[in-house]
Chains A and B, each alone.
Chain A
Amino acid sequence: DVKVTQSSRYLVKRTGEKVFLECVQDMDHENMFWYRQDPGLGLRLIYFSYDVKMKEKGDIPEGYSVSREKKERFSLILESASTNQTSMYLCASSLLVWSNNYGYTFGSGTRLTVV
Chain B
Amino acid sequence: QKEVEQNSGPLSVPEGAIASLNCTYSDRVSQSFFWYRQYSGKSPELIMSIYSNGDKEDGRFTAQLNKASQYVSLLIRDSQPSDSATYLCAGYFGNEKLTFGTGTRLTIIP
A residues near B (Cβ < 8 Å) are 31, 33, 40-43, 45, 48, 50, 58, 90, 94, 96-97, 101-109, 111
Q: Give chain A residues whose Cβ lies under 8 Å from the Cβ of B41.
A: 111
In the bound complex, how far is the Cα of B11 from the Cα of A36, in angstroms?
24
Number of B interface residues, CB 8 Å? 23
| Nearest CB in chain A: distance from B92 CB, A | 6
- A50's nearest neighbour on chain B, judged by CB, is B96
Do B46 and A101 touch (CB < 8 A)? no
B residues near A (Cβ < 8 Å) are 31-32, 34, 36, 41-46, 49, 51, 88, 90, 92, 95-98, 100-103
Enumerate the 8 nearest inter-chain pairs by beta-carbon distance, A residue then B residue, closest first.
A42-B102, A103-B34, A106-B43, A109-B43, A43-B100, A101-B32, A106-B44, A108-B43
Given A45-B97, A102-B49, residue A97 in contact with residue B31 (CB < 8 A): yes
In the bound complex, how far is the Cα of B98 from the Cα of A31, in angstroms?
11
Given A42-B100, A42-B102, A101-B31, residue A106 in contact with residue B51 (CB < 8 A): no
In the bound complex, how far is the Cα of B42 from the Cα of A42, in angstroms?
14
Given A43-B88, A101-B92, residue A108 in contact with residue B42 (CB < 8 A): yes
Q: Give chain A residues whose Cβ lies under 8 Å from the Cβ of B92.
A: 97, 101
In the bound complex, how far is the Cα of B98 from the Cα of A105, in angstroms?
12
